[in-house]
Amino acid sequence: MTSRTALITGASTGIGAEFARRLGADGLDLVLVARSADKLETLAGEIRAASGVAVTVMARDLGAPNAAAELTADVAAAGLHVDFLLNNAGFGTHGPVAEADPDRLADQIRLNCEVLTELSQRCLPSMIERRSGTIINVASNAAFQPLPLMAVYGATKAYVLSFTEALWHETRGTGVRVLALCPGPTETPFFDVAGEDFARSKRTTAQLIDTTKRALARDQPSVVDGVSNAVLARVGVRLLPKKVALWAAQKVVSPR
Ligand SMILES: NC(=O)c1ccc[n+]([C@@H]2O[C@H](COP(=O)([O-])OP(=O)(O)OC[C@H]3O[C@@H](n4cnc5c(N)ncnc54)[C@H](OP(=O)(O)O)[C@@H]3O)[C@@H](O)[C@H]2O)c1
């Protein structure tokens, strides 16, 4: 049996690191990507010892020019092909747009949307050729309604959801599985990076991965993690008048 390889962006912490552990335990070889080389090397050592799979660390800033092209070229040069792509690297900023650092907003759009799109596009043709592969793009339950105080973040995740659900349909019958994964608030360093800890109850990365596995088995275009998150995202915001939905959304991300 030939080995299968998963490419995970944002693998140094949080959701990406937990996916790496679980996919390694499932027997997939791994390529781990993030900026923090030390964290990736520590995680790689842990997974090799626990699972015996091959783990390659490719530490880099995916926000740098040509990062997606260089990453896929380096993966090919290492003799690997990507069977499973987890487009997970991303971050959010918190606060009114008028007070934001414009460069930080641009970096957010670049990483959350552009890099994710380019990696999906670059990995897809060979998956279709082999009639096998999985692409999971990490969106958010913030994808389902505009999010005052996290306006750019919410918009990037709406993009990820829209792009990925369209891709799911485009790849019907090709043997490639595509999923937009929409976590609600999840216990990770995400809130430290955003500079605000506003979520009152958080789910675990382990719960999120169990949700992902169930959604892949059902071949859904997208999944929201957690029943109450799903009801709110898919039903609740549609029932509310827009002004009320915007007020409620801001309330959710306002500091405690
Ligand atoms: N936690 C939540 O409540 C939540 C909810 C909905 C959606 N999400 C989404 O889930 C994904 C993972 O977030 P998380 O919660 O696991 O937070 P996290 O622990 O902060 O993970 C973010 C990951 O992205 C990497 N990253 C950030 N900027 C990068 C860059 N320029 N180049 C390469 N890698 C970069 C980080 O590693 P380095 O710093 O080492 O580069 C880290 O591994 C994100 O897309 C986030 O929007 C999270």
Cα end-to-end distance, the chain, whole Å? 52
Domain hosting 52: range is 5-253
- Interstrand relation of 222-224 and 29-34 (parallel, antiparallel or unpaired): unpaired
For tokens 């993009």, name the residue: 159
| Average pLDDT value for the chain | 96
Buried b (16+ CB within 10 A) or exposed e, 48-72: eeebebbbbbbbbebbeeebbeebb
Task: Give the pLDDT of residue 2.
Answer: 54
The confidence score (pLDDT) of residue 197 equals 83
The pLDDT of residue 1 is 41
Measured from the CB, is residue 89 less than 6 Å from ligand 1? yes
Query: Mind listing the pLDDT tens digit for each residue in 211-252?
Result: 999 999 999 999 999 999 999 999 988 899 999 999 999 999
**Structure confidence by residue, pLDDT tens digits, 115-128:** 999 999 999 999 99
Model confidence pLDDT, tens digit, residues 128-148: 999 999 999 999 999 999 999
Alpha carbon of 230 to ligand 1 centroid (Å): 21
CA distance 215 to 221: 8
| CATH number reported for the structural domain that contains residue 217 in this entry | 3.40.50.720
Minimal-distance CA residue to ligand 1 atom 45: 90
Q: What DSSP designation does 186 have? A: B
Question: Position 127: which residue type?
Answer: M
- Convert the pLDDT of each residue in 50-86 to its tens digit: 999 999 999 999 999 999 999 999 999 999 999 999 9
* Best residue for ligand 1 mutational test, from 7, 9, 12, 197 (most atoms within 8 Å of Cβ): 12
Task: Assess whether the C-beta atom of 16 lies below 6 angstroms from ligand 1.
Answer: yes
What is the rounded average pLDDT of the residues 150-175?
98
Contacts of 64 (CB under 8 A, 6+ apart): none
Number of domains in the chain: 1
Q: What share of the chain is helix, strand, coil (3-state, %, to 5)?
A: 55, 15, 30
